[in-house]
């Protein structure tokens, strides 16, 4: 699933490791999320949305 994680992270000048620490996941997880190859669970998606202060659908785009 496409997402704007990389852009949002760059806007805040965070590294993948910074974002990983804030989400309490590994850096590999952040990488897998950013490439769009791993779709987060609802709890993690909400956590990401809260962290960036945006609704989930503004961060993740359903390609359907």
Contacts with other proteins, residue ranges (CB under 8 A) = 24-29, 31-33, 35, 37-38, 40-41, 44
Please, what is the minimum distance in Å from the beta carbon of residue 1 to other proteins?
13
What does the block give as tokens for 35?
């490439």
Nearer to other proteins, 11 or 39 (CB): 39
Please, what is the minimum distance in Å from the beta carbon of residue 46 to other proteins?
13
| CA nearest to 54, candidates 1, 5, 2 | 5
Query: Beta strands 2-3 and 60-61: pairing type?
Result: antiparallel
Please, what is the minimum distance in Å from the beta carbon of residue 34 to other proteins?
10
What does the block give as tokens for 19?
């974002």
């Amino acid at each position: 699933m496409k997402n704007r994680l990389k852009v949002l992270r760059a806007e805040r000048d965070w590294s993948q490791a910074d974002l990983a620490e804030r989400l309490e996941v590994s850096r590999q997880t952040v990488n897998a999320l950013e490439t769009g190859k791993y779709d987060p669970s609802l709890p993690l998606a909400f956590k990401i949305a809260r962290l960036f202060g945006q609704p989930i659908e503004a961060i993740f785009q359903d390609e359907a």
